[in-house]
Amino acid sequence: MTLVLLGLVIMLSSFIYTAVHLGASAIEEATLPYFDAHVQEDFTIETPAVINPVETEALSDVCSFTSTMLTDLYQEDKTCFYDVLSWRRDALVDLLDVSLETRLYKDAQITRDDETHRVRVIKDSTFINRTKLTAGALPQTDDEIAILENYARNNNLEIGDTLTVLNNNYTITGFVLFPDYNLPILDHVYMFSTESQTLALMTDDGFDALARVPGFHFSGLFLTSRFDAADLFEAHPEIGGLVQSFILTENNLRSGAIYDEISGSYATGLMLSVLISGIGIVIVGLMVKKTVESNKRPFGILKALGLRNKELMWPYLQFLCLFSLLFLLLGYGLGYLFSPSFRDLYLLFYLLPSEPIAFSLSGFLTAVFVPLLVLMVMGYFVIKNLLDVDALKLIRPPVDVPGGKVFLMGKSLFRRFGFIIRFQFTFLLRHLAKVAVYIVGVFFAIYLSFLAVGMLNVFEETVHGYYDTLDITSIGYGYEGSAEPDGEKVIELPALIDDTQAIVIGLSEDQILHPLHDRRGDDLLPLLREGLVVSRSFQLMSGVNPGDTVQVRLGIEQHTFEVMAVAAIYPGEHVFIDRAVLAQTIFADSDYYNAVYADTLLDEALYEEVFVVETLLDEVASMNEIVQTMFYLIVGTGLVIGLIIIYLLTLLMVEDHYYNIALFKVIGYRGKEIHKLILGGYQKLNVGIFLLVIPFALLTFNVMQWYFAQTYQFILPMRLQVSHVFLIAVLYGIIFMVASLHAKHKVNTVSLSAALKIYQV
Amino acid sequence: MIELKRASKDYQSGTIVTKALIDADLSIDKGEFVVILGPSGSGKSTMLNLMGGLDHPTQGKIVINDRTISDYDQKALIEFRRETVGFVFQEYNLLHALTVGENISVAAHISKHPDTVENVLKAVGLEEHIDKYPYQLSGGEQQRVSIARALIKRPTVLFCDEPTGSLDEEVAKNVLRVLKTLNRETKTTVVLITHNVAIAQIADRVIRLNSGKIIEDRHQDSPEDIGAIHF
């Protein structure tokens, strides 16, 4: 049993490394050449949705501006809309040492049986982010379309099938991929599911004919030196009116993260593998030591008879080699088997090309032979160290005398405590090295479990977090009716808060469908009259705090507001402001609104676009299921590893006390009393470690959340729920008890007087 | 006080059965100083383990203070050992992480009416060594600590398994003096097993074992003085 569990730990180290290494390699080898060949953008620039006075003046000869918003301008004068885009691109190219290309796209609905799916149709580019055709042919006529292969596979679509977009039928001519991965981020909630969403390519005419207002940004390449957003705003403070956001591809979660993810996966896989195998190696070391120690007398006799150390250790090393090799190979085999699943998990998030899983010699050596070598070397030195003494010392080992400074100092610390506590800690101090290994092992095991359960909420909160706090059923954009809209008027605008991109949402104090509460549940809507309320996600990304003054930049307009509070809203980079103030400030019309929140299904005929919240959530449900399964797998693996480590360490620790347990029984101690004396110290130690892990986990979760927010503008809402803490505590308690009982059972099978003759502390 | 009624003990290893004790009949009175004498493998340790409640007989009965402990389960045996007996082993079996005082407290902790650490240390002549660790004491001193640990529970019987086996003659005599004095002053029954014929001379009664059988059981009206014996 003990050996099998130990084998499992060794196997898992090889399994994790192999699965991650092979899975990530299959993507990396296809992806990096793809990015080069199809000229992935170095950065993306988003410009304001509001037309600024400089543009109005510059283009006054060709355009008669009657709208403040670009979307409105497109409805009124398409040529002028494109003129503004060209003007902005040229203005940016004049200022910066870069190449820019306008990236245009339109969001629309696909009708499939009873379901409505979403499509983002891309206008083909000329030199940046060139389309990759993965199968079939590119569209040649206005009624042809190319889509993502993942979407086609998930919906049983093939080349030649028909797709209905905005009630028009298109023939699928092929499958495509686009290297600019910011495209799949639809709306202000991070989500992308190829079950119900796809990117698509049409001919230029087909794109223009699609009855939707295009979205756009500029894709760019650095010509000489690279710079980031901070450099840009420092070098060109006046550019704020033109640049809403400047995002380096490497800092975009969907694109840039892939570099870090792939290299990070190697590192994470290796790190996890090293951590797990490290613990495994330590446990193997302790077990080898224990086995050899318990055979010291026969070893001494054999040595006295003339056998050499090598001859004595050879059977042990042979067994260790075969045992470790077996489980490492098993781990490698399982890792190889599961690596396609790991690769496919990546491809759920990243629209990337991939290659079949291929055997890698270096990966094989790292997964199997490196840990094997370490195990053998460690085993060799442990045994050598134990056997490298005179035969007589093996036959009659001298008493291991306690007397280290740490031991004596530690004992003096507990001098004033009662007998039991003094005794418990004396024995912990007596085996300080082993206890240190135990502390590290248990700490790691508990943390691994916390990490695993902490991740459980991530996807749930990322997807549902925002909408779960609201009472909105549908959201309408571009109201075209004449009567008052049937819902609550709001303004949604992209803006720049200091240097951080955000979505500014204008709410009214009497808003019902979009409540705004802080962590304590206090209503924050009344505070909007005095300043801004920011979401917790935005706070993490920008670092602003209540009381700070921030610059809100909407186009060329720039206004100063005070941050009043932080709303308990994940995810979304949301900044809330009083709608009337926003409307008056930007549009000189205190009743301006561009979106309607409703608790009913809004009439699609009255709006340019209506989003049904339930549909949005349904879109991610299937993806949620897959990811959740993967998370449960990770959680399960983490818990199993943790539990095995705890079990093995507890077992070893109790077996170490064979002699003490036997002695106490002879003296007349009851089972419970022995338990209290021998295991009580470890129980207290376990509780201490457990209590230490909680703040450590909370701290690291916050650091991870902060790191992701700063680096990828992505909130990773890792949480530690009381129920999870309780669950893990109960699980570890049970494992501790089971391991103790198992060890005590072993002790009971040994004759008490014999135990006293065999074992010595 | 201690009665063995046709007590036998067999050990089985694979298909081989070893008869360690055969039909032992014996009765020891309160306050006696008994030496069980026999060569290695004669069954003396087995007899001591049965009397001390560390093991069950295969056949027969063990009665201590009118209680048939051979019918006891492990739990009841623990209670019996806790209240009634003390053990002293050849290898001292002290806990090296604990001081002399702490080693003795280990036994005091579970006793209903324990003696004081100071008293028992005085009884074995080690009151100056209360804060020392076992490794700081000689073999004889360590054995006396182990006797003090057994005595602090005020046992009615003290079982000693080759208590002088690891000691030289003079030190061994000191240990025997301690045991003899305790027996005389506190009327504690002492059952001591040894293979050393000389030690048998100091006992009130000598029981000889050979091949698992009692071959001699004699009372000595005038035991030898410890100083007069030679190992």
3-state SS record for A172-206: EEEEEECCCCCCCCCCCCCCCCCCCEEEEECCHHH
pLDDT in tens, B108-153: 988 888 899 999 999 888 889 999 988 889 888 999 999 999 989 9
Under 8 Å between Cβ of A145 and A170: yes
* A508 within 8 A of A578, measured Cβ to Cβ: yes
| Count of A-B CB contacts under 8 Å | 80
Confidence at A755, pLDDT banded by 50, 70, 90: low
Q: Which two tokens stand for residue A241?
A: 């009116």
Q: Which of B78, B102, B149 is the closest to A665 by Cβ?
A: B78
Higher pLDDT among residues B103 and A658, named by residue? B103
DSSP E strands in B76-228: the ranges are 85-89, 157-161, 189-194, 205-210, 213-219
Structure tokens, B118: 């100071």
Which amino acid appears at position A644 of this protein? I
Each residue of A527-584: pLDDT tens digit? 998 999 998 888 887 889 999 999 887 766 678 899 999 998 776 678 999 999 888 8
Q: Are A299 and A384 in contact (CB under 8 A)?
A: no
DSSP run (H or E) holding B16: strand B16-28
What is the pLDDT at residue A190? Answer: 37
A668–B95 C-beta distance less than 8 A: no
Report pLDDT for A498.
83
Q: Which of chain A's residues have a Cβ under 8 Å away from the Cβ of B153?
A: 668
Is 70 exceeded by the pLDDT of residue A677? yes
The 3-class secondary structure across A574-622, one letter per residue, is EEEEEHHHHHHHHHCCCCCCCEEEECCCCCHHHEEEEEEHHHHHHHHHH
Among B109, B132, B136, B137, which would you mutate to test the A interface (most chain A Cβ atoms within 10 Å of its Cβ)?
Answer: B109
Q: Who contacts A445 (Cβ-Cβ below 8 Å, separation ≥6)?
A: A279, A641, A642, A643, A645, A646, A732
Q: Mean pLDDT for chain B?
A: 90
Is the bond into A571 cis (omega within 30 degrees of 0)?
A: yes
Distance from CA of B223 to the nearest CA of A (A): 30
Partners of B19 in the beta sheet?
B10
Contact A485, A479 (CB under 8 A): yes
Characterize the bridge pairing of strands A595-598 and A574-578.
unpaired
Those residues whose C-beta lies under 8 Å from the C-beta of residue A394, and which sit 6 or more positions away, are A296, A297, A299, A300, A303, A387
**Is the pLDDT confidence value at A400 over 90?**
no
pLDDT at A605: 79
The verdict on A665 touching B (C-beta cutoff 8 Å) is: yes
Asked if B59 and B7 touch (Cβ cutoff 8 Å), the reply is yes
Cβ atoms A140, A131 nearer than 8 A: no
Asked if the C-beta of A673 comes within 8 angstroms of chain B's C-beta atoms, the answer is yes
Question: Closest to B105 (Cβ–Cβ): which among A400, A419, A663?
Answer: A419
| Residue A724 to chain B, least CA–CA distance (Å) | 39
Nearest-by-Cβ selection for A430 from B81, B82, B97: B97
How would you label A527-538 residue by residue, b for 16+ Cβ within 10 Å and e otherwise?
Answer: bbeebbbbbbbb
Q: Is A298 helix (H, G, I), strand (E, B) or coil?
A: helix
Give chain B positions within 8 Å (CB) of A665: 78, 81
CA distance linking residue A254 with residue A178, whole number of Å = 12
Asked if A364 reaches chain B (Cβ–Cβ under 8 Å), the answer is no
Q: The complex's ipTM?
A: 0.89
Residue A629 has pLDDT above 80, yes or no: no
Whether residue A456 is predicted with pLDDT greater than 60 in this model: the reply is: yes
Using an 8 Å CB-CB cutoff, list chain B residues near A752. 54
pLDDT, one tens digit per residue, over B168-203 is 888 889 889 989 998 998 899 999 999 999 999 999
Q: Span A13-38, mean pLDDT?
A: 84
Let me know: does A16 contact A276? Beta carbons within 8 Å: yes
Burial class (CB in 10 A: 0-12, 13-18, 19+), A385: exposed
In A, which residues are within 8 Å of B91 by CB distance?
Answer: 756-757, 760
Element (H, E) at A291: helix A256-294
**Minimum distance, in Å, between the CA of residue B97 and any CA atom of chain A:** 6
CB B1 within 8 A of CB B64: yes
| CA distance linking residue A598 with residue A474, whole number of Å | 5
CB contact under 8 A, A761 and B96: yes
* pLDDT at A759 (0 to 100): 45
Most confident range (mean pLDDT) of A305-319, A720-734, B141-155 is B141-155
Of A430, A667, A761, the CB nearest to B106: A667
pLDDT band at A22 (very low <50, low <70, confident <90, very high): confident
* Rounded average pLDDT over A629-648: 70
Please identify which residue in the block is written with the tokens 């304001």. A48
Read off the pLDDT of residues A46-100 as tens digits, 9 standing for 90 and up.
Answer: 888 888 888 888 888 888 877 778 888 888 888 999 999 999 999 999 989 899 9
Q: Is A752 on the interface with B (CB under 8 A)?
A: yes
A396 contacts chain B (CB < 8 A): no
Give the C-alpha separation, A538 to A569, whole Å: 9
Across the interface, do B97 and A666 touch by the CB < 8 Å criterion? no
pLDDT at B93: 85
Nearest-by-Cβ selection for B93 from A403, A663, A673: A663
Judged by average pLDDT, the poorest of A105-114, A203-212, A614-623, B192-201 is: A614-623
* Alpha carbon distance B162, B181 (integer Å): 18
**Candidates B96, B149, B161; nearest CB to A402:** B96
Q: What is the mean pLDDT of residues A456-465?
A: 64
Cα torsion A149, A153, A154, A157: sign: positive
Q: Which residues contact B106 (CB under 8 A, 6 or more apart)?
A: A423, A664, A667, B95, B98, B149
For residues B27-40, give the mean pLDDT.
Answer: 93
Show the tokens assigned to A460: 């749930």
Q: Closest chain A residue to B149 measured between Cα atoms?
A: A667
Q: Which range is least confidently modeled, A311-315, B82-86, B178-182? A: A311-315
Query: Which segment, A195-204, B131-140, B208-217, is predicted with the most confidence on average?
Result: B208-217
Give the residue-averaged pLDDT of A340-350: 75
Q: Which amino acid is at A42?
A: D
Torsion, Cα A313 A317 A323 A329, to 10 degrees, reads: 180
Looking at A295-360, list the stretches that DSSP marks H as alpha helix, in order from N- to C-terminal side.
Answer: 296-304, 309-349
Cα nearest neighbour of A426 on chain B = B97
> Would you state the pLDDT for residue A638?
67
Q: Do A756 and B105 touch (CB under 8 A)?
A: no
Residue numbers in A near B109 (CB within 8 A): 419-420
Cβ distance B110 to A668 less than 8 Å, yes or no, reads yes
Q: Flag whether pLDDT at A185 surpasses 50.
A: no
Are A399 and B96 in contact (CB < 8 Å)? yes
Residue A458: pLDDT band with limits 50, 70, 90: low
Helix (H, G, I), strand (E, B) or coil at A274: helix
Asked whether the beta carbons of residue A663 and residue B95 sit closer than 8 angstroms, the reply is yes
Query: Following DSSP, what letter does each residue of A498-509 receive, concatenated?
Result: TTEEEEEEEE-T
Using CB atoms, pick whichever of B49, B97, B153 lies closest to residue A753. B49
Contact yes or no for A753 and B54 at CB 8 A: yes
Which residues on B lie below 8 Å from A755 (Cβ)? none
Average pLDDT on A114-120 reads: 83
Closest CA to A338 of A19, A9, A26, A631: A19
| A756 close to B (CB below 8 A) | yes
**Listed range (A255-269, A588-602, A700-714) with the worst mean pLDDT:** A255-269
What share of chain A in percent tops pLDDT 70?
85
Instruction: Summarize the confidence of residues A588-598 as an average pLDDT.
Output: 86
B50 in Cβ contact with B44 (< 8 Å) = no
In chain A, whose CA is at the least distance from the CA of B85? Answer: A667
Kindly list the residues from chain A whose CB atom is less than 8 angstroms away from the CB atom of residue B134.
Answer: 399
Please name the helix (run of DSSP H) or strand (run of DSSP E) that holds residue A430, with its range, or none: helix A419-430
pLDDT at A598: 93
pLDDT, average across residues A257-281:
61
Please choose, from the candidates A382, A383, A384, A373, the residue with its C-alpha nearest in 3D space to the C-alpha of residue A321. A373
Give the nearest partner residue to B54 out of A427, A671, A752, using CB atoms: A752
**Residue A147, C-beta contacts closer than 8 angstroms, at least 6 positions apart:** A119, A157, A163, A172, A175, A176, A198, A199, A200, A201
Using CB atoms, which residue from B82, B93, B98 is nearest to A668?
Answer: B82
* pLDDT surpasses 70 at A192: no
Contact A753 B161 (CB under 8 A): yes
B-interface mutation test, from A753, A757, A758, most B Cβ less than 10 A away: A753
- Per-residue model confidence (pLDDT) at position B225: 84
Instruction: Tell me which chain A residue has its CA closest to the CA of residue B86.
Output: A667
Structure tokens belonging to residue A313: 């250790």
A226 touches chain B (CB under 8 A): no
Mean pLDDT of chain A: 81
Consecutive H or E run containing A747: helix A722-748
CA distance A539 to A536: 5
Closest CA of chain B from A692, distance in Å: 28
Percent of chain B with pLDDT over 70: 100
pLDDT for res B32: 94
Which residues on chain A are in Cβ contact (under 8 Å) with B98? 423, 426
How big is chain A by its Cα radius of gyration, in Å? 33
- Give the minimum alpha-carbon distance from B196 to chain A in angstroms, rounded to a whole number: 20
- Strand A43-46 and strand A144-147: the pairing is unpaired
Cα–Cα dist B55/A657, whole Å: 21
CA distance A336 to A22: 7
B87 to A757: CB separation less than 8 angstroms, yes or no: no
The DSSP element (H or E) to which A653 belongs, if any, is helix A613-655
**In chain B, which residues have their Cβ closer than 8 Å to the Cβ of A420?**
109
Q: How far is CA A98 from CA A86, A158, A707, B3, in A?
A: 15, 40, 29, 105
Q: Which residue has the tokens 């000389």?
A: B198
Distance CA A728, CA A700 (A): 18
Higher pLDDT, B53 or A618: B53
Provide the pLDDT for residue B41.
87
Nearest-CA neighbor of A335 among A361, A355, A363, A354?
A363
pLDDT band at A256 (very low <50, low <70, confident <90, very high): very low
Q: Tell me the C-alpha distance between A254 and A277, whole Å.
A: 32
